[in-house]
Structure 1
Amino acid sequence: MINATLKYPTFKLRILTKERGLEVYLDGEPIGETPLNETDVPVGIYSLTIKRNGKIIY
């Protein structure tokens, strides 16, 4: 018998911008501010949004 724990594959998301402190969202959920350094994200298709003071800029 083999006991194993399966993990979903992830990737490292890194977002660098000239302006610091921009809000980063994946599928409408906040995941941090820029610069965003190597955040683990499950592999998939996402909607990426970047906001400044609550207004979408990307």
Structure 2
Amino acid sequence: MVSAHWASAGNRLSEARERALGSLADDVANWQDWYRRSVVADALEALHESATAHRSGR
């Protein structure tokens, strides 16, 4: 979550800042998707290989 805070109520982001925050949110979502697909999958694969090797006595 990304938020903006002001000392007084009623303020809004400019269109440019709103677009910039939207772009940042897109970048973060893409990074999270990549991380979940690659890093987590790699860790699960390594765990599986380790368990399989241990079970077969390697």
The structure in which a higher percent of residues are helix is 2
Name which one, 1 or 2, has greater alpha-carbon Rg. Answer: 2
Question: TM exceeds 0.5?
Answer: no
The structure in which a higher percent of residues are strand is 1
Please give the TM-score of this superposition, normalised by the length of structure 1.
0.21
Please give the TM-score of this superposition, normalised by the length of structure 2.
0.21
